[in-house]
Amino acid sequence: MELETNEIIHNRAILVGMNHTRKKDEIDIESSMEELAELAQAAGVEVLATTVQNREAVNAALYIGKGKVEEIKQLCDSLEANLIIFNDELSGSQIRNLEEAIQMDVIDRTTLILDIFAQRATTKEAKLQVELAQLKYRLPRLTGLGKKLSRLGAGIGTRGPGETKLETDRRHIERKIDFIKEELREVKKVREVQRSQRLKSELPIVALVGYTNAGKSTLMNVLLRNSEEYEAAREVYAENMLFATLEVSLRKMAYPDNLNFLLTDTVGFVSKLPHNLVDAFKATLEEVTYADLLLHVIDASNENYHLQKETTLSVLKELKVDTKRIIDVYNKIDALEDANAIPKDDNIIGISALNGTNLNELMEIIRREVGISMVEAELIIPYNKGSVASQLHEIATVITSEYQEEGIYFKIKIPAIEYPKYIDYEIE
């Protein structure tokens, strides 16, 4: 009997990893498996057990050794698991061979991440990008996964925005890929029009980038609440889970002393991020290429933060934005025993978005990087120059004002570029 796509399947999984003893991985196996468990939980999977095999090289047919396969089969039987998740990307033939040997559904890390994105995508563009990445992943695996891909399902790895039966015919999938690419081009045109309108506003753009669950969305909401244009409805979704944010959020920020800028939140990165997913989401991540300043949010409480930092920087390099001005924002210092443990530099700051620690200092850095240089001045505006007084209220921050015999006294902060227009009214 075929399953309906809206039928809920309770996935009980065994996680499987390989520690390549011959090569030094970018992240140690224990941390990588912990992250895989978090990814599984984010996808709604119950993790029953984790097992790792130390091997010098991958088994071409099964990825892991035959003995380990038999051990996993017994583990699945004893724990009543119904899913096996591998920590690395598998070929179609490896998945087929493993499923035949264990008699259990097998997926890899890439499929898991794609499934999370499929669950969380809400906009048309995000759904198209996820489906494109899924099809690109499946296309070279038609030989190994043909039977599996042709059946309708509702479990991890079979989900897709608006998904129907996936035919095993290569040309059908290639046509579908071409169709989605064309739709994404149309969406891109709309976004380019919106972007050109933003650029005309001449407001600087500040982009939040970083590893998933580093606290980017939480920081965005805190900065929003301190903005003069705050509305609760403008807050973005923030949750303590991997990939809580998939869509780019853009908000106008307004602060005293004419500090106005656009703040954008982006999808978080993760180690071993599927290459097809990076390609598919490049259109969304293009917003970063137009930013005047990047705030690289780092989870200081994570013991592998330096590896997470390198993962983010490698993606930024792929997007060719690694040469932009970047400020490292070490978040969650409230969870550290010693907040002084983070590196020290003019381009580094430690904060807690949760309790507000050092947010004023962060704002000063933003002001330094993208703010307008301000001049403090004292002026007397004659009463017959009422239009000048009105202009000051529009373009300057009025600290104090009072009516005096000679005219209206102003103590102001005014953009340096505007100040020369009013120098004749300055008090000697």
Evaluate if residue 41 carries a pLDDT over 60.
Answer: yes
Evaluate if residue 23 carries a pLDDT over 70.
Answer: no
Domain end position, chosen among 91, 120, 149: 120
The C-alpha R_g of the chain, in whole angstroms, comes to: 27
Mean predicted confidence (pLDDT) in 58-80 = 94
Can you give the CATH number for the domain in which 42 is found? Answer: 3.40.50.11060
**Spatial strand order in the sheet of 374-381:** 374-381, 408-415, 397-403
Mean predicted confidence (pLDDT) in 316-324 = 84
302 plus 288 within the same structural domain = yes
96 plus 237 within the same structural domain = no
Which tokens belong to 118? 């499929």
Residue of 311, 313, 295 lying closest to 219 (CA atoms): 295
User: What range defines the domain where residue 407 resides?
Assistant: 374-425
Can you give the CATH number for the domain in which 328 is found? Answer: 3.40.50.300
* Lowest-confidence pick of 78-92, 148-162, 261-275: 148-162
Residue 133 within a domain:
no
Distance CA 96, CA 27 (A): 28
Residue 136 within a domain:
no
Residue 335 within a domain:
yes
Burial of 348 (0-12, 13-18, 19+ CB in 10 A): middle
Within 8 A by CB and 6+ apart from 111, the residues are: 137, 156, 157
221 plus 326 within the same structural domain = yes
Residue 141 within a domain:
no
What 3-state class would DSSP assign to 410? strand
Residue of 240, 282, 253, 311 lying closest to 26 (CA atoms): 311
Residue 151 within a domain:
no
262 plus 335 within the same structural domain = yes
Note the pLDDT tens digit of each residue in 95-130: 999 999 999 999 999 999 888 888 877 778 878 888
Within 8 A by CB and 6+ apart from 93, the residues are: 61, 143, 144
Residue 383 within a domain:
yes
pLDDT at residue 82, rounded to an integer: 92
218 plus 290 within the same structural domain = yes
Cα 248 to Cα 121, 136, 236, 337, distances in angstroms: 11, 23, 10, 33
401 plus 336 within the same structural domain = no
Residue 269 within a domain:
yes
pLDDT at residue 149, rounded to an integer: 53
Q: Identify the DSSP state of 280.
A: H
pTM beyond cutoff 0.75: no
| Distance from the Cα of residue 420 to its chain's centroid | 43
The torsion region of residue 157 among left (phi > 0), alpha (psi -120 to 50) and beta comes to left
115 plus 245 within the same structural domain = no
The torsion region of residue 386 among left (phi > 0), alpha (psi -120 to 50) and beta comes to alpha
70 plus 217 within the same structural domain = no
The full DSSP string for 215-226 is SHHHHHHHHHHT
Note the pLDDT tens digit of each residue in 399-420: 899 999 899 999 988 877 788 8
| Distance from the Cα of residue 173 to its chain's centroid | 28
228 plus 354 within the same structural domain = yes
Residue 309 within a domain:
yes
Note the pLDDT tens digit of each residue in 339-386: 778 888 889 999 999 898 999 999 989 988 887 777 889 999 999 998
246 plus 389 within the same structural domain = no
Domain end position, chosen among 335, 354, 370: 370
Note the pLDDT tens digit of each residue in 179-219: 999 998 888 788 777 767 666 556 888 999 988 888 888 89
18 plus 92 within the same structural domain = yes
What 3-state class would DSSP assign to 312? helix
pLDDT at residue 300, rounded to an integer: 93
pLDDT at residue 15, rounded to an integer: 96
Domain end position, chosen among 370, 389, 415: 370
Evaluate if residue 87 carries a pLDDT over 50.
Answer: yes
pLDDT at residue 386, rounded to an integer: 87
CB 264 within 8 A of CB 208: yes
* Domain count along the chain: 3
Summary mean pLDDT of the chain: 82
